[in-house]
Amino acid sequence: MKEEKTRPRTTLADRVYHTLFTRISNGDYPTNQKLPPENALSQDFGVSRPVLRAALDRLRDEGLIYSRQGAGSYVRIPVNAQVGYAKVETLADIQRCYEFRITLETKAARLAAERHNAAALDDIARALDLMRDATGSMTHREDADFAFHLAIAKAASNQYFEATLRALRDHIYVGMKLHGQSLMSDGAKGLQAVFEEHSAIHAAIAQRDADTAARLMSAHLERSRDRLFGVGLIDLRMPE
């Protein structure tokens, strides 16, 4: 019997990182704007300076912020502006986004199972912890949901998967938010079912079971789409 590995827990630095990532992505901190001073951010998040610096170091490593000696940290081009996609304007656009994600993320999950290293798997597990906490609190967190899918794209060890998912973040958030609202109407049962879908994907990737990881990711995205649209999928065929 294999000894179960201790799963890495979500840290305070992870939570600060995800919140700052969301603020930068949303444009709350515009390009080249200086972030608030470290003492102000520490008070804002209720964390120590070392915890905050760990989160800032991660953002810096990912190229989301940069430092000027003696002047603090500044925002680079927002992640959702790196590739141009038209804004989501209709329900059909949300359905198209799901359609694209099913193709993109199914392949990413397969590659993640084949190629991940320990650090990449830890990133997926930490995002899953955020989702577990939210599920236990009867809430749906789009940032945790997106972090999970982004970590899998990163684990595929092909920068184009990660860059594309980052560029689609705003579009994906629209679908995730509406999907979360539909889950909340079903109470704890719906939230728990979706958490278990994510947990099963993580397990398949951890076991390097590429076929199962791809199948579970495809099924998860299809179920998410269908929970949102029901039987009322939109006919996306072009007019004659």
Asked whether residue 237 is assigned to any structural domain, the reply reads no
Continuous H helices in the chain = 12-26, 38-45, 49-61, 91-115, 118-136, 142-155, 159-167, 169-184, 187-206, 210-229
- Please provide the DSSP assignment of 126-163 as one string: HHHHHHHHHHHTT---HHHHHHHHHHHHHHTT-HHHHH
Q: What is the mean pLDDT of residues 135-160?
A: 91
Residue 240, number of CB atoms within 10 A of its CB: 3
Residues 95 and 75 in one domain: no
Separation of alpha carbons 52 and 68, rounded Å? 17
Of 55, 79, 103, which marks where a domain is finished?
A: 79
Residue 69's domain comprises 13-79
Q: What does each C-alpha distance from 214 to 7, 49, 107, 136, 208 come to in angstroms?
A: 22, 40, 6, 27, 11
Residue carrying structure tokens 């650090």: 119
Tell me: pLDDT of 112 over 90: yes
Tell me: pLDDT of 78 over 60: no
- Over the chain, what is the mean pLDDT? 85
Separation of alpha carbons 14 and 147, rounded Å? 10
Q: Enter the tokens of residue 173.
A: 């958030």
Asked whether residue 85 is assigned to any structural domain, the reply reads no
Tell me: pLDDT of 123 over 60: yes
Q: Convert the pLDDT of each residue in 84-106 to its tens digit.
A: 566 777 888 889 999 999 999 99
DSSP reduced 3-state for 123: helix
pLDDT-based confidence at 4, cuts 50/70/90? very low
Asked whether residue 137 is assigned to any structural domain, the reply reads yes
Residues 46 and 103 in one domain: no
Asked whether residue 196 is assigned to any structural domain, the reply reads yes
- State residue 3's pLDDT score: 41
pLDDT-based confidence at 143, cuts 50/70/90? confident
Residues 212 and 158 in one domain: yes
Q: Convert the pLDDT of each residue in 156-200 to its tens digit.
A: 999 889 888 988 888 898 888 888 887 777 667 888 999 999 999
Asked whether residue 132 is assigned to any structural domain, the reply reads yes
Query: Which CATH number characterizes residue 59's domain?
Result: 1.10.10.10
> Could you give the number of structural domains in the chain?
2
Residues 39 and 139 in one domain: no
Asked whether residue 110 is assigned to any structural domain, the reply reads yes
Asked whether residue 234 is assigned to any structural domain, the reply reads no
Q: What is the mean pLDDT of residues 152-158?
A: 94
Of 79, 112, 137, which marks where a domain is finished?
A: 79
If one compares 234 and 206, the residue with the highest pLDDT of the two is 206
